[in-house]
Structure 1
């Protein structure tokens, strides 16, 4: 619930005279190092109020830990059981139960930070560090590829994990939490394992926020503070917009979870009205999962395109994220301007999970950080990875303040799709860079535990009858 809702709840359950105590309760629930699991964990609160809390039957967590699976690279897939809702009709309760998956992409020493997706939602592979780190999908540079390094020229920029710096993140480096917003998904994207579940139900705002709180509680001592939050787990976030907006409000509250808007990113497959609504009501970053440059291909791999086609998507982005015309300046002035922008985007927003000092708030954010959208582009061999596709992407993004993340496809059971070979990915990236676009490569993390991008979900064993329908 939001802070205002908590105030109202406290007044209703404990008496109007206790309304003011909602602020203390809020801090104990969400502030760094607190994350109270019960009334017994809280100090500095009157015994009478704690007694009222206990008698109200209030639950401090909406999720119950089921299990943790750790991949070879340290990525953790955390499974949470959804609770029964006692207020629901008995006939509806069984379908309310289920297991939702959350992914923690931890910092890897010497590799540029957790999630390594500096070009991702929340972080990027260059020095600016504001690309969205795709939960379950790690955007970093190209790791293990000799001769590939971050390049920033007068045209565009290209980055790899070897060029990113984590010194400005946090003591432990970048640690990204990828949260789910639905149990299953209704969008039917052909490259996504979660889509095979169908949509079972939306998560509440509390269940979304609780994923972040519990990950902090469970793993902060092990990996350090969470620095980035990405809504890229199970489900289409904007298909559950009310809960997502409330969750963002709670996560970004400086007296609450205190996440940085620049490092909190919500992904969408392209629900146009909801994209507009989202941008009006939160300063969290937005990422568009594009994955094709023609309607013919996008219709085939992303059915939502038949409702919101590419033209409507980019018309919306041009309105929401216009790229202002910048007067031509000399190289020296250009470099100074770039460094100032980087400092504004990374340094001044504060780290997620920080102590609270120096939190700038929404107004300063709008003044110091140019809003941009992340364009997510999954590289599928022989489907959307031609150099003509790259040139079309350059054309589509003209006039839009954006950063493009090229994502390695993670195969899963039941798909015939394959990842684009690295040489072709690099050639694709070069076209974008020469076209003046900021383009980043995102390295896969956690794929050996089905924790990578597009691999979340519990899907029944495929039969011969439905196997063909699951293959593009």
Structure 2
């Protein structure tokens, strides 16, 4: 047996080595593997026992055939690294790639890794997310001219999955037409930050009807969840009382919209889901990577306008800066207080990122009078009786946001079991808003929808499912005394 060394010239490289370079073109790790495979495939055993007079630089055809076969066998046994492997939740417990976790560029990369062209990724993307397709398995496309080949089905079956990680469990319809969809988390696979919480419990999605002045329902806004529970412990929020049980994966976030569209189609409801708000269970920027990938799929796969996607945060400043710089969707900030003393209590994240840091970042990103177009931030402010709803609070909020290009959105508090807060009176809400209108500043009041089915803002989740509910915090002494003397709210020390 003779050993031949193939030169490093372009002609001398094996077709398998070239294929390795093509397959592994994406990502630094992939490129590194391609460089490693070609030299390794250059040393092979020539099975021709007859003496050879040919130079090492010109191997005989039989040797070249053996080279190609050995290289192909090597490629078939080596795992092809993917540039997104570092992201948690990409694979399930069996090691299969969860394809619904992948935006289109990453889906194209996976297709390339199994020898499929980019057009296959686009074809799959259309069947997963295209209007009235939403397939759960590839066989559902068989009746169409653009059906998948048996070879591609085999590749998916051997190393990938189309599971979305959610199963619709129940639907609750409120008097005003708001629909709350409760999903069970299913599947033996990892979620956004590993296995904890990803395959147990439930998450909730709300379809909010958006009506015109004549009361006609023109479209739905889908309020999406990003976590099971929430770690932020906002004192007025029922979800916050659960604590954090786990992050959702990209697939589990997107699947909420896919399943909601499928449900409406089955109910023969012709009203589209046109707006997306990340204001359900969880803090979106606390699950940053999964949410950003989900936004890409929502915009490119489900064809939702980025201008109609809003991500709400309590103010995780570093992640918020990254999000603003990405320009992928609109931003809303849950402010809820005008002093650090009060916000430290009702939004504990303020103890890490106080008002000066949070508002400073917004002033840099959304300076009033210096921006073009409609790129503004929404300031969310829940009104709590005797806590943050005084005229003095309104004047401070007006001053704090005077140099920020923003819309102030007032939220009526929605009560829940065990709450320590009360809803502000209609007169107090109108008086608070009047301060902004008198100054010529835009200020809206968010209508409370779905509260009779625990589907309104701040009512999602189930504290009874949490093994360790978040603690109720002690209010500031001055505020507690004032509330005890005048507001009558049953605050818990």
Question: Is the contact between residue 393 and residue 432 of structure 1 (CA under 8 Å) also seen in structure 2?
Answer: no
Deviation, structure 1 residue 95: 6.7
Q: Matches of residues 409-420 of structure 1 in structure 2 within 5 Å?
A: 409-420=413-424
Q: CA deviation at 1:319?
A: 0.7
Label 1:111 to 1:60 Cα distance change in 2 as closer, same or farther (>3 A): farther
| Counterparts of 2:164 and 2:278, CA distance in 1 | 19
Match of 1:237 among 278, 284, 290: 284
Deviations 1:225-250 (A, max 9, x none): 10100000000001111111111111
Unaligned runs of 5+ in 2: 1-101, 475-490
Q: What is residue 72 of structure 1 aligned with on the other side?
A: 175
Residue aligning to 2:109: 8
- Supply the distance in 2 between the matched residues of 1:229 and 1:466 (Cα, whole angstroms): 28
Q: Please state whether the residue corresponding to 2:418 is helix, strand or coil.
A: coil
Give the root-mean-square deviation of aligned CA atoms. 2.6
SS in structure 2 of the partner of residue 437 of structure 1: coil
Aligned length: 366
Match of 2:126 among 27, 36, 42: 27
Aligned partner of 1:106 among 203, 209, 221: 209
Residue 227 of structure 1 aligns to a residue whose secondary structure is strand
1:434 to 419, 433, 438: 438
Q: Secondary structure at the match of 2:443?
A: strand
Q: Provide the C-alpha distance between the structure 2 equivalents of 1:218 and 1:261, rounded to a whole number of angstroms.
A: 23
Matched, 1:246 2:305: no
2:334 to 289, 298, 301: 289
Return the alpha-carbon distance in structure 1 between the equivalents of residues 330 and 195 of structure 2.
35
Answer yes or no: is 1:460 the counterpart of 2:464. yes
Shift of 1:94: 7.2
Question: What residue is the counterpart of 1:188 in the other structure?
Answer: 233
Residue aligned with 1:228, SS: strand
> What whole-Å deviation, never above 9, does each CA across 1:26-49 have from its counterpart, x for those lacking one?
111112222222212323133322
Q: Which residue of 2 aligns with 1:58?
A: 161
SS of alignment partner, residue 463 of structure 2: coil
Q: Is the 8 A contact 1:238 1:271 kept in 2?
A: yes
Residue 271 of structure 1 corresponds to 316
Which of 149, 152, 157 is residue 47 of structure 1 equivalent to?
149
- Kept in 2, the 8 Å contact 1:414–1:467? The answer is no
Instruction: Give the C-alpha shift of residue 107 in structure 1.
Output: 3.5
Does 1:390 find its partner at 2:390? no
Shift of 1:73: 1.3
What does 1:190-229 align with in structure 2 at a 5 Å threshold? 190-220=235-265, 221-229=268-276
The match for 2:116 is 17
CA deviations 1:124-143 (Å, max 9, x no partner) are xxxxxxxxxxxxxxxxxxxx
Contact in 2 for aligned 1:84/1:93 (Cα 8 Å): no
- Select the residue among 378, 401, 407 that pairs with 2:405: 401
Give the Å deviation of 1:219: 1.1
Q: TM-score, normalised by structure 2?
A: 0.70
Which whole-Å CA distance do the structure 2 matches of 1:27 and 1:106 have between them?
Answer: 27
Cα separation, 2, equivalents of 1:455 and 1:438: 27
Deviation (angstroms), 1:388? 1.0
Instruction: Give how far 1:290 is off.
Output: 0.5
**CA displacement at 1:10 relative to structure 2:** 2.6
Which structure carries more relative contact order (alpha carbon 8 Å, separation 6+)?
1
Contact 2:206 2:455 in 1 (8 A): yes
Partner of 2:486: none
Which residue of 2 is the match for residue 372 of structure 1? 376
The alpha-carbon distance between structure 1 residues 468 and 243, as it changes in their structure 2 partners (threshold 3 A), is closer
Larger Rg: 2
SS at structure 1 position matched to 2:385: coil
Provide the C-alpha distance between the structure 2 equivalents of 1:267 and 1:241, rounded to a whole number of angstroms.
12
Alignment partners' CA distance in 2, 1:176 and 1:318: 28
CA distance in structure 1 between the partners assigned to 2:128 and 2:472 by the alignment = 47
Change (3 A) 1:59 1:72: same
Q: 1:296-311 residue pairs with structure 2 within 5 A?
A: 296-311=341-356
Report what 1:421 is aligned to: 425
**Following the alignment from structure 1 to structure 2, what is the Cα–Cα distance between the partners of residues 95 and 64?**
13
